[in-house]
């Protein structure tokens, strides 16, 4: 398959219980051209989005997800990295007597969510 050379813009929405995907190319930032609109069954979108996420992960990271073993390895690597970061954060926040346990917990959750998302 020959790759598309022009930038492609994707918009996604809902219409009558179907997922609507609009693909268009932009001509010099002024006029959408070569538009294509797809109506897709929600179940097919779920399957396709999972495949897209897998391929995007592989394209971005260079790692090919091969199943639960690789996933477990990635989780363990993140766990080790976050454990070290949490240790540093807790050591620094422990000295701040005005921080409540809730504020410390919120700080740790924020760090974890930034790492995940």
Residue-wise pLDDT for 32-89, tens only, equals 556 677 888 888 888 888 888 888 878 887 877 667 767 777 788 888 888 888 888 8
Structure tokens at 66: 């091969």
Please state the pTM of the whole predicted model: 0.40
The full set of domain ranges for the chain reads 1-64, 66-117
Question: Rounded to a whole number, what is the largest CA-CA distance in the chain?
Answer: 62
What residues form DSSP beta bridges with 23?
10, 36
Radius of gyration, CA atoms only, the chain: 22
d(CA 105, CA 92): 13
């Amino acid at each position: 398959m020959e790759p598309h050379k022009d930038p492609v813009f994707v918009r996604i929405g809902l219409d009558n219980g179907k997922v609507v995907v609009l693909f268009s190319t932009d001509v010099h930032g002024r006029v959408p051209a070569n538009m294509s609109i797809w109506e897709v069954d929600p179940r097919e979108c779920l399957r396709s989005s999972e495949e897209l996420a897998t391929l995007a992960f592989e394209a971005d990271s260079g790692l090919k997800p091969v199943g639960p073993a690789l996933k477990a390895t990635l989780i363990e690597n993140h766990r080790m990295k976050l454990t070290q970061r949490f240790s540093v954060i807790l050591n620094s926040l422990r000295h701040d007597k005005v921080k409540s346990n809730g504020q410390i917990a919120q700080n740790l959750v924020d760090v974890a969510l930034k790492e995940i998302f």
